Amino acid sequence: MRKGLGIIAIIFLLFITACSNENGEENATDESNSDGEKETITFGQTGWSSTEVPTEIAKQILEEAGYEVEVSLLDQPIIFEGLAEQEVDFFMDAWLPYTEAALWDEYEDVLIKVAESYTDAPLGWAVPSYVEEDSIEDIKKNPEKFNGTVYTIGAGAGIVDISEEVLTDYGLDMYELAYSSEGAMLGELDASIGREEPVIVTGWRPHSMFIQYDLKFLEEPKENFKFDNIYVLSYKEIEETHPEAYDILSNWSIEVDDLEQMMYAYEVDDISFEESAEKWIDENRDQVDDMLGK
């Protein structure tokens, strides 16, 4: 009888041990999967250098935190739509409350401002400083001097929408907007300055054009162009879907001068945004560590 009880006890212990090992292996496997799979964060990025630089810096910071990061090059309205659909997680370059008011009004119920990158960013129509005209009212008098053209970026951008309003509000039917890429617009600016000819472009800061060239904004008394603050945007559920990434970027900010220097280094010295971002992170290590909670 005792021998039978001993055998039963041994079998019971083996069963308990096997179950414990199986549970342990399952737990270990779950932990391995959890630790081994990195979350993916997707940034929406326009083709503007003012967006590319902060996006690259934020990308590297999140990669340091252990995220996989993807960057999707999209037109600005598509980025807002992507945020609303949660196909894009962050946008680093939203100009509010004025320039992108139409897009914000459309999506504000589902989007949030995660952080303020910098404040009081000027924008408008810019000309070389040697141009005699100082205001938009002045250029009405001699449109042929400027070939009746204002060079700008792609349709749908906030600064373009406002420029279309300016044409109407100032009665500038003798002018037209030449829609193009940022690079093509800068090409026209560079060529005109090389010939010391008058030219009008849509300008904003931060931008390397204000380091590379001596420019001035045309005065605009009707105040269609207003100074904006620049925000990081996401969708409202981001705190639940990617809480750590949200916490990190909630503490983001950058100086306009830093952005313009990196843009200038890229365009003039062919220093990549990746390299400039690495340098910025190294030089601002305390800020980055605070963002990462170190």
**What are the tens digits of pLDDT across the range 62-81?**
999 999 999 999 999 999 99
Average pLDDT of the segment spanning 155-179 = 95
pLDDT(16) > 50: no
Alpha carbon distance 18, 42 (integer Å)? 43
Average pLDDT of the segment spanning 149-159 = 92
Q: Quick one: pLDDT at residue 133?
A: 97
**Which residue type is seen at 95?**
W
Q: Quick one: pLDDT at residue 50?
A: 87
Q: Quick one: pLDDT at residue 35?
A: 52
pLDDT(13) > 90: no
Average pLDDT of the segment spanning 226-246 = 96
pLDDT(11) > 50: no
pLDDT(52) > 50: yes
Q: What angle do CA 29, 32, 36 make, to 5 degrees?
A: 145
Short-list 228, 227, 102, 222, CA closest to 172? 222
Confidence category of residue 119, pLDDT binned at 50, 70, 90: very high
Confidence category of residue 179, pLDDT binned at 50, 70, 90: very high
Q: Is residue 50 exposed (0-12), middle (13-18) or buried (19+ Cβ within 10 Å)? A: buried
Helix/strand/coil for 269: helix
Of 26-30, 166-170, 275-279, least confident by mean pLDDT is 26-30
- Are 52 and 273 in contact, with CB atoms under 8 Å apart? yes
pLDDT > 70 fraction of the chain, expressed in percent and rounded:
87
pLDDT(291) > 60: yes
Supply 262's token pair. Answer: 């990196």
Supply 178's token pair. Answer: 């030449």
Short-list 81, 92, 76, CA closest to 41? 92
Average pLDDT of the segment spanning 272-292 = 97
Q: Quick one: pLDDT at residue 189?
A: 97
Domains and CATH numbers, the chain: 40-120+229-292 (3.40.190.10), 123-217 (3.40.190.100)
Mean pLDDT over each residue of the chain, to the nearest integer: 88
pLDDT > 90 fraction of the chain, expressed in percent and rounded:
81
Query: What angle do the packed helices 273-283 and 256-269 form, to 10 degrees?
Result: 140
Alpha carbon distance 100, 157 (integer Å)? 8
